[in-house]
Amino acid sequence: MINDDFSWKSIYNYYYQKGLTVYILECLFKIISSLVIAFTPILLFGCLNWEKMDSAKTISEIILPFPKGWMNSNIFFKISFILFLIYSLILIIQFVSTLPLFISLHKYYSKKLGLSDKDLIVIEWNEVVESIIVCDPLKSISTLSIAQQITREDNYLGGMVEDQSVFTWRLPWKKEMEQLPMNSSFFYFLKMSLQGTIFNSDGVPLICGVQNIQAAQNQQKLKSRFRIVGVLMILIAPFALIYEILNTIFAYIESIRASPDDLSLRQLSPIVRFKAREFNELPHTFDKRVMKSYEWADLYLDQFNQSPLVPVMRTFSFLAGSIIAIVFFVGIISDIPKVLGLEIFGGKTIAWLITILASVYAACKPPRPPTNMYGLGPDELFVELQKHIHLDLSDSRNSPHSWETYDNVDRAYPPIWKHALINIASVIINPFLFIAILPLKASSIVEFVRRNSVENSEIGWICALGAFEDPQRYSASPEHRARLNRSNAAYDSNKVQIHLEPIREDSNDLLKSIYGQPAEQTPEKEPMGDENLVGFGIDALSPNEFYVPENDAIPPPPDSMV
């Protein structure tokens, strides 16, 4: 704690949310979106008078009041409305319960640190840390410990995902172990299950430093928690499926209308996000690194030959677009409403046909390939991609020219439409995983946390993989060792304490007022240096955004401040 009220995790969360205003707007967006989805089933299947749709001349003739729509709806849509409304109510309660903390943090940032919400959009995290140190110059603090507090639970989860003994299974028709199908909702319910059984609200493990019998009790609680969550997911599965479908439609309908190419954009898969994140890497730093990797992933994947389906899709897209253009050309010459109102078959009008053709055009239009302004080939593009993602996505021959490497990159960066399908399918898959599979993995989870934990004198129990202890001592997997070796090659594992003298009032230079002398210059990187060891791509990163290495540490100030 930096004072009696706020933890470093709370302070960083306020910075990551970019202040009070952005946080309020984001919460309101989630609440409004959930309310729209909650009312949609009743509006579509209760309030709309489909029988008068063809003969109605005004919208009031086909829309019934909500009470009548409620009476016309069947029991399934009524239950859906109630459950969706409960979810919206939960979001409102969460927002109201966290708002006082954010208001207090807003006052702390603005009055004590002198940083407005507008400043948080442009300044870096290290500047916030420096401002806190200025306000409390006698405070001795380790920036590595700050990162460990903020990322404590994520360090454990990242290690579990990468470990071959935790979230893996072997299907009957396959010989090798595979990773469980995990998406964003899986990790949401997983974290909810681990809270109170394995970790407390701050991410501190509850099964370390205790007797074996207590750890065994927590393991049984975790098994029960998994099964309870799985049963609840089964009960709400039909309604969750409707919610997921509506959420997908509303989320991507604007993208389809404005730019069909957006559906072909790629996003990092949730599993790869945990594997790619370095231990103790702060979320905003990781987000920047991932965003830089998207360009290189698109350019690399575009180097391969097109799929055989592309000509077929281009043909359908051309035909649909041609018919739409002809209809609108005729409508402009004559009368668009009359043309669109002409019946073609079965009482369907040309307007209905245009809607179908527009959907076909949007779905079949080939994505616009990214422009390779760098003029690089697959080898150079793959090297640049790995510099940013920090994962080995190559095949067994380490060749960027193989389809196996292509598939690895394609699985790591699936298109947005594939994310949507996975989220919909997870409504059915996740209950099975939580009831049948995860209870069997409870012992592996407990064993992993206890084996890979170390007690820190400043902040308590943390993930040993994030403490940069000897990976051999904790039986770390080869994947963990590779990540630790990469981090240790760039930074020293010793924690750095910054001891400060009282600030002189006549000092105008912030760094000089803090440290008494300027910091050493960060050495420039070679263009083709081993940036993968550095771990942060092509841009230099302030040490406070991750942790302060010994070489970059500010030496103790002299007896007299300059």
Report the pLDDT averaged over residues 283-307.
84
pLDDT of residue 427: 92
342 shares a domain with 222: no
Burial class (CB in 10 A: 0-12, 13-18, 19+), 468: buried
- Asked whether residue 11 is assigned to any structural domain, the reply reads yes
pLDDT of residue 391: 83
Per-residue pLDDT band at 485 (split at 50, 70, 90): low
Burial class (CB in 10 A: 0-12, 13-18, 19+), 239: buried
**What string of DSSP letters covers 61-97?**
GTB--HHHHHHHS-HHHHHHHHHHHHHHHHHHHHHHH
pLDDT of residue 253: 66
Residue type, 77: F
403 shares a domain with 300: yes
- Asked whether residue 538 is assigned to any structural domain, the reply reads no
Per-residue pLDDT band at 430 (split at 50, 70, 90): very high
| Beta strand spans in 6-155 (E) | 141-142
385 shares a domain with 321: yes
For 406-428, write each residue's pLDDT tens digit.
Answer: 888 988 998 888 888 898 999 99
118 shares a domain with 97: yes
Report the pLDDT averaged over residues 446-467.
86
Is the pLDDT assigned to residue 549 strictly greater than 50?
A: no
355: Cβ–Cβ under 8 A, 6 or more apart, which residues?
none
Report the pLDDT averaged over residues 200-220.
88
Would you tell me how many other CB atoms lie within 10 Å of the CB of residue 324?
16
What phi, psi does 31 have (nearest 5°)? -65, -45
104 shares a domain with 23: yes
Enclosing domain of residue 359: 282-415
Per-residue pLDDT band at 29 (split at 50, 70, 90): very high
Report the pLDDT averaged over residues 486-495.
46
- Asked whether residue 528 is assigned to any structural domain, the reply reads no
Is the pLDDT assigned to residue 502 strictly greater than 50?
A: no
pLDDT of residue 536: 35
Per-residue pLDDT band at 102 (split at 50, 70, 90): very high
- Asked whether residue 129 is assigned to any structural domain, the reply reads no
pLDDT of residue 199: 92
324 shares a domain with 408: yes
pLDDT of residue 441: 93
What own/partner pairs with CB < 8 Å and gap ≥ 24 does 381-388 have? 381/296, 381/299, 381/300, 381/303, 382/300, 384/296, 385/293, 385/296, 385/297, 385/300, 385/409, 386/532, 387/531, 387/532, 387/537, 387/538, 388/289, 388/290, 388/292, 388/293, 388/296, 388/537, 388/538
State how far Cα 2 lies from the chain centre.
Answer: 28
410 shares a domain with 427: no
Is the pLDDT assigned to residue 312 strictly greater than 80?
A: no
4 shares a domain with 104: yes
More confident residue, 430 or 392: 430
Is the pLDDT assigned to residue 189 strictly greater than 90?
A: yes
- Asked whether residue 511 is assigned to any structural domain, the reply reads no
- Asked whether residue 218 is assigned to any structural domain, the reply reads yes
Q: Provide, rounded to the nearest whole percent, the portion of the chain with pLDDT above 70.
A: 75
- Asked whether residue 355 is assigned to any structural domain, the reply reads yes
- Asked whether residue 297 is assigned to any structural domain, the reply reads yes
pLDDT of residue 487: 57
Which of 206-215, 317-326, 548-557 has the highest mean predicted lDDT (pLDDT)?
206-215
Which of 30-34, 209-213, 278-282 has the highest mean predicted lDDT (pLDDT)?
30-34
Structure tokens that stand for 271 in this block: 């599993």
pLDDT of residue 113: 87
Count of positions (residues) in the chain: 562
421 shares a domain with 394: no
423 shares a domain with 309: no
pLDDT of residue 381: 87
For 329-378, write each residue's pLDDT tens digit.
Answer: 777 777 777 777 777 777 777 888 888 888 777 767 665 555 565 667 78
Q: Provide, rounded to the nearest whole percent, the portion of the chain with pLDDT above 90.
A: 23
If we measure between CA atoms, which residue out of 102, 127, 101 comes closest to residue 114? 127
**Whole-angstrom Cα distance, residue 354 to residue 328?**
10
182 shares a domain with 116: no
The domain total for the chain is 3
- Number of helices and strands in the chain (H, E): 23, 8
349 shares a domain with 309: yes
pLDDT of residue 192: 93
pLDDT of residue 478: 63
Per-residue pLDDT band at 437 (split at 50, 70, 90): very high
Report the pLDDT averaged over residues 19-43.
91
Domain end (from 424, 447, 467): 467
Would you tell me how many other CB atoms lie within 10 Å of the CB of residue 526?
8
Report the pLDDT averaged over residues 93-121.
91
pLDDT of residue 533: 34
Of 81-95, 134-148, 460-474, the one with minimum mean pLDDT is 460-474
Is the pLDDT assigned to residue 388 strictly greater than 70?
A: yes
Report the pLDDT averaged over residues 512-524.
40
